[in-house]
Amino acid sequence: MKIISKSVEETMALGAKFAKGLKMGDCVALIGDLGAGKTVFTKGVAKGLGVKNSRYVNSPTFVIIKEYEGRFPLYHFDLYRLDGHSGFDDMNYEEYFYGDGVTVIEWADKIREILPKRYIEVKLTVVDENSRRVEISRNL
């Protein structure tokens, strides 16, 4: 599925709508350059999962993961500062990937080889200052 979002608000609304179809154990791999809207999309996912104060969801760049409570737990990873998956291996990531919540991973392309076999890829691409192309596909 390919969608053009014309604003931050549309990207957030798309994330919220997308979240309605998520279930426990789902892993969402976000791919895109800096400023492509990965964190904005994640805020929408948080809203769609019923996370209170979802507008305060921000990128866990310096701590790598943040957890939020909603309909079920949201595990939000940001791997921007990670160099390959070797540093990630020490985090017991399997507990999150195969746990009782939804895992959303920004910069997931850095750990593609250790992603679960089944995940949803969301690729965000800058079209212009306000617009983003959002491509959603399932990898089974």
67-112: per-residue pLDDT in tens?
999 999 999 999 988 876 666 777 788 899 999 999 999 999 999 9
What pTM was estimated for this model as a whole? 0.93
pLDDT higher at 60 or 34: 34
Nearest to 55 by CA among 68, 73, 64: 68
**Phi, psi values for residue 56, rounded to 5°:** -90, 0
Report the alpha-carbon distance of residue 74 to residue 58 in Å, rounded.
13
Q: Could you confirm whether domain 2-139 is CATH 1.10.940.10?
A: no
Domain ranges of the chain: 2-139
